[in-house]
Amino acid sequence: MNTKRLGRKIREKRKQCGLTSQQLADLCHVHDGYIRQLESGKKVPSMPLLLSLCDELETSPNYLLEYAEAGDDKQLLNRLYKLSPEQKNTMICMLDAYITYEEKKKGEEA
């Protein structure tokens, strides 16, 4: 694992969420200096802290750790990771509408 890249990903998501390092530290119940150490790549978060960061930054461990999914899932996830939280909510609504449409269409064909 490249700790510098992990730190950049954390900083990138924090800024996307409009949080300061102090705000993220408060949300995750750690010291602001620790968040800065994570973002600089000097420290690696524990598993509980990683999960807390993911919750607060509205992302996944896969994104932060650069774990690659396969095929179409990877392409879809890479695009989703670039969206703001508001854009993700919009996409969820659009996906729900599309799934409902497809299910209704299948029901009418049966």
Domains, the chain, in order of start with CATH, read 3-65 (1.10.260.40), 71-109 (no CATH)
pTM over 0.75: no
Backbone angles phi, psi at 26, to 5 degrees: -60, -45
> Tens digit of pLDDT for each residue in 12-33?
999 999 999 999 999 999 999 9
Mean pLDDT of the chain: 90
